[in-house]
Amino acid sequence: MNLQGNGSNHNRRPLGEDENDSFFSFKESSDFERITGEKAPSADGSISFGGEDEERASKLKQAIEQENSSAYEDLDDFVYRQNKKRHRSSGHHHHRHRSSVDGLSSGSHRRRRSSVTSTHKHKHHYHRHHRRRKMKKWQKVLIGLLLTILIILVVLVGSVIMMIINGRNSLLDTSGMNLDFPDTVVSAENGKFIIHDGVKYQYNENITSILCMGVDKDSFSEIDGNIGTGGDADTLFIMTLDTEKGDTKLINISRDTMSEIGIYSDTGAFVKDKKAHICLAYAYGDGKETSCQNELTAVRRLFYNVPINSYIALDIQGIGAINDSIGGVTVVSPETIGTFKAGETYTLRGSLAMDFVRNRSHSTIEGNNLRMERQKVYLEGFASKLFDMTKSDITAPVNLFNSSSPYTCTNIDSSKIAYLASRVVQGTFNGEFEIKTVKGDMKKGKTYNEFYVNEDELFKLFLSVYYIPVGQESTALPNE
């Protein structure tokens, strides 16, 4: 609504009245009707007062003042809010200006107090300024460094966890398991369940096996005109680890054991299978991976095709270096041979370690069995020393692995080592292990001694290591 006075001073008298207070004019007649509640006397809403109409004029002035006061209160609030938003975004302090007026002048948006003298009030609004503190350069560098370290730690921890998981899966992989038992054994699910002598057994899937070979690469082999140059596996044993209970067993296998081995030509082509000394399987290969695989196949055949997922072959020339990498091994000699006397204690270093595990007597048919006893003593001392080191330093097995790498061929990778080391740290393994020996008879062959295993004793040993009794024969096997 726009209310105007009639006279030259109407801009100073915004109520819209002339000097005689006798004339009012509204911009729209609808404004007159809305304020007074009466029908407009003319199209432009103009009306004159004077004399006896002064009371009516006074009421009309009050109505107009109330109307203007309400309208401009809304306008003033709107302007204040807009200014507040603008100044908040710019960060500057602002004033809210409020005026009190009696009326409106043409085009004006101010309100006067009813008194003749107008005063201008400033209402100050104080605001808390939120200013972002600028970081110093050293603070930025420090935060960046901490974030980088945190990211590296997360990646390293995640990598170690993934290594441990992958190592476990690889060590305990039984896919493709298809055990081949004697005819007296009833089996199901490719050997996962068996019945023997009225007892039902289940394969222990927490068992992992590692074939360990001590190789003499200076040896030369020939079978039926086929020459093997890879060397002989003079020392053979299977290390079995129960990754849940922590039971550790070593199955010692005589190098002279007569077993089926694969014969290959010098070009690597398969020639035939032949019953011969099991240690010679290593000779028919490249002295590295193919030799290890050929020996692994021969040992698995002997043990009913049991899953053996890992192997390590050690050149005996490296025994001294590996022995010294853990600070030497203390042993008590079980026999008198060379410089060693039965019952005497020795701390083996350098070449003495190789002599202790390699030498054997050729004057007796039991020469290799006696050597196996010394190797057993040495392995117990070596494992005990390494176990104690691992408990205080989880990286000890990795360091040993690295120091032995020039003398070894293995499929044991860092993930397998990480998993086994984690089990040691968690207390699964206590450093103790049981050594079992395959029983049989040693006989004098045409040229060399020959060892023939006792099949019944071998199978009993096999059951004690790899299977858990779970019931009587009356308990049906799966898929029966």
Does a structural domain hold residue 113? Answer: yes
* Whether residue 392 sits in one domain with residue 294: yes
* Whether residue 255 sits in one domain with residue 369: yes
Does a structural domain hold residue 331? Answer: yes
pLDDT in tens, 435-462: 898 999 998 888 888 999 999 999 999 9
> To 10 degrees, the CA torsion angle through 198, 204, 205, 211?
-120
Does a structural domain hold residue 135? Answer: no
pLDDT at 449: 87
* Whether residue 201 sits in one domain with residue 115: no
Does a structural domain hold residue 163? Answer: no
Alpha-carbon distances, residue 463 vs 181, 187, 212 (angstroms) = 11, 13, 20
pLDDT at 297: 95
* Whether residue 438 sits in one domain with residue 339: yes
* Whether residue 416 sits in one domain with residue 292: yes
For the chain, the average pLDDT equals 77
* Whether residue 325 sits in one domain with residue 427: yes
pLDDT at 18: 46
Number of domains in the chain: 2
The most confident of the ranges 91-95, 155-159, 443-447 is 443-447
* Whether residue 100 sits in one domain with residue 186: no
pLDDT at 25: 59
pLDDT at 296: 96
Q: Is the pTM of this model over 0.85?
A: no
Whether the predicted pLDDT of 420 surpasses 70: yes
* Whether residue 110 sits in one domain with residue 233: no
pLDDT at 346: 94
Task: Give the domain-ending residue among 124, 147, 182.
Answer: 124
Does a structural domain hold residue 257? Answer: yes
* Whether residue 39 sits in one domain with residue 118: yes
Domain encompassing residue 45: 3-124
pLDDT at 8: 37
d(CA 290, CA 41): 119
Average the pLDDT over each of 32-41, 79-88, 235-244, 411-420 and give the range with the smallest value: 79-88
pLDDT in tens, 179-214: 998 888 898 888 999 998 889 999 999 999 999 999
Does a structural domain hold residue 154? Answer: no
Task: Give the domain-ending residue among 61, 93, 124.
Answer: 124
Q: What phi and psi values does residue 133 have, to the nearest 5 degrees?
A: -75, 135
* Whether residue 191 sits in one domain with residue 115: no
Does a structural domain hold residue 142? Answer: no
Question: CB neighbours (10 Å) of residue 287?
Answer: 18
* Whether residue 120 sits in one domain with residue 55: yes
Close Cβ partners of 430 (under 8 Å, ≥ 6 residues apart): 246, 387
The most confident of the ranges 13-17, 351-355, 418-422, 472-476 is 351-355
* Whether residue 181 sits in one domain with residue 104: no
pLDDT in tens, 358-376: 888 877 777 777 888 888 8
The CATH number linked to 327 is 3.40.630.190
Q: Which has more confidence, 71 or 133? A: 133
Residue 88 — very low, low, confident or very high, per pLDDT cuts 50/70/90?
A: low
Does a structural domain hold residue 64? Answer: yes
